[in-house]
């Protein structure tokens, strides 16, 4: 299920979301590859198999996979952009926080770094009683489109994801790269607090927010996917132009 494509000297690393798989980002990755970019879309540990396997992993495992893919791209490309959906947005932000100028830009689609859902306060106790709860996947407005995420949400892994959120939020000021942030007007998984926290917390001079009116959470498979792909291509081209000017 992972996807890789060799292209030009602009690399793009895509990170899928919690309990999901590369399937949710596959059309996005393929579109970037058709445009000639060098693309990496890894499968995060514990994902794309069974939710019980995800419960045996932590956010550090997920981040280690993303970081490894980033370093492969960094060695072969002049520029690397990071792209994240949902929790993948948190992983992309952490790469931007840690690698500074080695990241040319950040693209986020309904990123998750916080939740106002008070039910999460019970997690430290609940995870010791039951291993999982109902799934959060397949929040898609477009008819007959399936995300292929887990039907259950593993609670130990969920607690670890919240720890990732805390880590990323504490270092948001280190994000100085150009940022393109897509947010669905209606999202049944991630509430608007994440986008507000990110926009207010980063130090980037170039921040563009786009509100998606016709998609739910998994917008990369939804009605607004073509707009996401188009605007991302323009974002990459804009900052690739800056690279060409420097080279000239």
Q: Which of 24, 114, 160, 187 is catalytic?
A: 187
Q: Is 143 exposed, middle or buried (0-12, 13-18, 19+ CB in 10 A)?
A: exposed
Which strands, in side-by-side order, build the sheet including 207-212?
3-5, 38-41, 10-15, 79-85, 105-109, 179-184, 207-212
Interatomic CA distance for residues 119 and 1, integer angstroms? 33
- 115 tagged catalytic: no
C-alpha to C-alpha distances, 64 to 32, 36, 42, 184, 215, nearest whole angstrom: 23, 26, 11, 28, 30
Name the DSSP letter for residue 55. Answer: T
Q: Is 231 exposed, middle or buried (0-12, 13-18, 19+ CB in 10 A)?
A: middle
Q: Is 1 annotated as a binding residue?
A: no
Residue 134 corresponds to which tokens in the numbers above?
A: 């109902």
Q: Is 18 annotated as a binding residue?
A: yes
Q: Which of 21, 24, 86, 184 is catalytic?
A: 86
Q: Which of 47, 114, 217, 239 is catalytic?
A: 217
- 6 tagged catalytic: no
- 86 tagged catalytic: yes
Q: Which residues are annotated as a binding site?
A: 18, 87
- Residues with a catalytic annotation lie at 86, 187, 217
User: Which amino acids are annotated as binding site for substrate, given as ranges?
Assistant: 18, 87
């Amino acid at each position: 299920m992972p996807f890789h494509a060799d292209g030009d000297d602009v690399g793009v690393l895509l990170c899928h979301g919690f309990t999901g798989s590369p399937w949710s980002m596959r059309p996005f990755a393929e579109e970037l590859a058709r445009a000639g970019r060098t693309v990496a879309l890894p499968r995060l540990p514990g994902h794309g198999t069974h939710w019980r396997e995800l419960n045996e992993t932590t956010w550090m495992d997920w981040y280690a996979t993303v970081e490894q893919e980033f370093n492969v791209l960094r060695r072969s490309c002049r520029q690397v952009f990071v792209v994240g959906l949902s929790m993948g947005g948190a992983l992309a932000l952490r790469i931007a926080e840690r690698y500074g100028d080695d990241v040319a830009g950040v693209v986020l689609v309904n990123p998750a770094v916080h939740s106002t859902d008070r039910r999460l306060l019970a997690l430290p106790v609940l995870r010791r009683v039951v291993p999982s709860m109902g799934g959060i996947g397949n929040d898609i407005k477009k008819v007959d489109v399936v995300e292929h995420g887990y039907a259950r949400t593993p609670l130990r892994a969920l607690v670890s994801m919240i720890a990732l959120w805390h880590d990323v939020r504490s270092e948001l000021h280190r994000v100085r790269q150009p940022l393109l942030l897509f947010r669905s007007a209606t999202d049944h998984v991630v509430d608007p607090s994440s986008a507000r926290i990110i926009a207010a917390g980063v130090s980037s001079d170039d921040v563009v927010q786009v509100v998606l009116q016709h998609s739910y959470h998994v917008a990369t498979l939804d009605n607004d996917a073509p707009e996401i792909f188009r605007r991302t291509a323009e974002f990459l081209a804009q900052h690739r132009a800056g690279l060409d000017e420097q080279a000239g």
